[in-house]
Structure 1
Amino acid sequence: MSAKNNEIRSKLALLQLATELGSISKACEIMGYSRDSYYRFKKQYETVGERGLKNLSRKKPAMKNRVSQEVEDQVIEIALDYPNYGQAKVAELLGARGCSISASGVRTIWLRHNLETKKNRLLALHNKLKQNQKFAPLDQQHIEQLYKQDPNDPNIECLYPGDICVQDTFDLGVISPLGRLYLHTFVDGYSQYAISTVMTDNSSASVAQFLREVVLPWYRENSININSILTDRGPEFSGKKSQEFSQFLSEQQINHIQMRAYNGPVVNGLAARFQTFANSEFFEPYFKANKVESLAQINHQFSAWQADYNQHQSLSGRYTLGKTAAEVLSVSRHLIGADND
């Protein structure tokens, strides 16, 4: 029996025992709970049933900054101004500015933004300069260094919003009375702008429907073409059962890249990271506190949360560099559809 099931059974036992004994105080004494806990459990159970008795996970995904945003911004700034500097030199330079951070702290921030190697820092600088449409003489020297390096790189690179996007599904579990629910997710590899919705199916037909009815209308409205979609090798995307999805991509002339979605730090894991964050920050608390009556109800509330995420969540990454998805789309709009090297 899982620990979560034990937690729920223990709380149910408390509620039942209080009824049998006719004494809340006696039941709490026997079960080791306070009266406040009893009333909280009772309210949660009456509101949403057993789901309300489930403890929320204390483990949070590593999406938020572990240092202040000001320090994070300075580390990124130095990484792009001085891509040849190592982590110890950057920590020393920050110390001279009055900012206390260790070399390992610098590296932790670099890792979150895929800046841990000189080449990655040069690539990030290149992306920033393209977004800003300005190349100073020193910047040009750094770009020349980049192209002198070995071009063989296993990581997938994005050139602009819509160039490479990631699509995935996430099992949200069985939610009464709707049954098993799935989070369908589409994340732009360059800006990390996320489009997502909850459905009752994760078949090839459903992922094609999500792409056709939810994703493509948004991209067309914003005048962005989708060049390639990266997926894992799940049956809805790959193999004999993926016919509807594959046929739709062919009709839309969208390239399909298939690989394990967690094997690359720059693009591949974006959907998984968003889904983990959304589940922890929205779905688990929402399902615990609310009685679910319809799919429309869930998606209405989730849509508001998602809009706030895209507009206000600072994102780690070589292309975002601490900006929000909406900000990256704004500053990189001139790159869309262009063949930028």
Structure 2
Amino acid sequence: MTTKQKVARRKLSLLELAQELSNVSRACRIMGYSRQQFYEIRRNYQTYGAEGLIDKLPGARGPHPNRVEPEVETAILEHSLAFPTHGPLRVAQELSLKGIQVSSGGVRGVWGRHSLVTKQERLLRLERSVAEQRIELSDEQIRLLERFSPEFRERHIETHHTGELVAVDTFFVGTLKGVGKVYLQSAIDCHSRYAWGRLYPNKLPVTAVHLLNTDVLPTFEAHGARVATVLSDNGREFCGRPDTHPYELFLQLEEIEHRTTAVRRPQSNGFVERLHKTLLDEHFRIKGRTKWYEGIDEMQKDLDGFMKDYNQTRPHQGRNMNGRTPYQAFVEGLPEPEKQSAAKRRNAA
């Protein structure tokens, strides 16, 4: 039995009790009704029978006879979405020019049913509608959004194993008296943070190739691994015509993919940029104040000592390093076949 049926039975019991007692007031006190309610219940029962005892919700008698047609209501809503600041009279006049006849009161009635009576409500509806649309952004718009997005600034380079991505860059160390200009060609494995560095008196494609060929690739070959991708900026020592540029030709020869960072976005090569800061703070600025150099070879000897300490004994506090040394992360990050072959070579040695 539904709630409405229970209420109808209680009303019928009220009528029966009043007839049995022949006292309306007493029956109302017993059943918890007022005399006014009793006479209203009796009138409905006498007029409609048992159906008159069932409570009916207001507005359940169907649509209002003066409500506008569905197609007119749709036209009003579409116009209000396109022009949310138009008032009801203006909307009625605009629609009449399109052959749709509706009064300003009819427009306001439609707005009332959809909670669009105020201008602010219609503007908020427009805002929600635009927010739900998917739009195509240009490259310039994407760059601007990424530039001011905190989520983009916190984005990190993701690598899964050693050698998946090696970042390279050129760093101007400075102009030393008696030595001249000094440039650092640097490279770092983005997975393990294992780094290489070599000093040169200039920055040319041949010096960038020399670092890869002399230091980086031999380290990977010694562990049975390979470099899959090199990430660099758009400097002339790294980028040029693929058929004539020495660095591009060398990467093609070694079957290494070459990626470049966005222009004027050094953050996209953050691993090697952070390496430069470490070298500057922990090595160059200290050695420059405690030792007099007479040549690049002497500087390279001290740099090799620091890089050995950096890679093998210095705990690294970088993301996902957990205090491991870069060499530990380098070996642990080798793909499984390369890791097994490297272990066999170490045991044989």
Q: For CA contacts below 8 A with separation 6 or more, give which structure has more relative contact order.
A: 1
